[in-house]
Structure 1
Amino acid sequence: MKINVVAIAKPEKDCYAQLAERFVTMSKRYAAISTHELFNARVTRAQESGAESAKKLYAELFEPWQGRGYRIALDPAGKELDTEGFAGLLRDRQEVTFFIGGAYGHGDAFLKRCDARVSLSRLTMSHKVAKVVLFEQIYRALTILHNHPYHK
């Protein structure tokens, strides 16, 4: 299984990134994990121009990953799942790509091209925290699928 996580975010080396990387490392015994953080001057300019400009650019930056397996957008209005349901998203898939939008989220056109929309929580959280939660849930889901006792 291959899992891609693509985010509109500045790459950082802080305690959140270290914790996320720990879960990525632990997950690699079950799946190939790749992370891609996309952020450049164009993103800054688009975000300064407003939500619609930013969402359009996010979708453009995500385009190279659009054909990569089962596509899941993280979205506050997405479906809330329990951990078993989250594991079900990964079950029997060769490749899964998660998309984390920028400050303005995802545009409707982009969301329609995804296979699923998932909310990690009804709470608002920073991108850094959301990535840690996502990577922990990916690891937890993989342990469920491989009958490892971590989930218990």
Structure 2
Amino acid sequence: MIITLVKKQTGHEFIREMEETYKSLNELEKLFKRTNNMKMYVDLENWKYYRENPNEMIEITESLVTNKLSLSDLDLIILNTIKHEKPRSIRDLAKKINKDVSNIQPKVKRLEEEGYIKFEEGIKNSKIPYLTFDEIKLEI
């Protein structure tokens, strides 16, 4: 089975991500010259391209090959709730799906470890979950 995670973004959003990662195009060029890292080369070329085409849509995919699907029904409910209801914290997520936070916490941690979600800092040390993709495609 092949699981493909699809993230859609504009060239402008891509550039913003690159600025968060590398700070500036010049900084990335310096890093690439020092390391000759192929990922940095691809990021550099893409940054230059999308600087000229900021409104172009990008579809970034990441594929995983596995013999078993590790997503349970509850995992899918969690992902769907994060996407559509945008909870402000893990506690808010648990409340939205009528589950105890102690049952949700380990599930959310595993989804983060597997790359399905990330967190940004919220108020009062809360963690705001967000998806790292727009679609999940399954191929059998």
| TM-score bucket (shorter structure) | under 0.3
Q: TM-score, normalised by structure 1?
A: 0.22
Q: Give the number of the structure whose residues are more often helix, by fraction.
A: 2
Rg (Cα) greater in structure: 2
Q: TM-score, normalised by structure 2?
A: 0.24
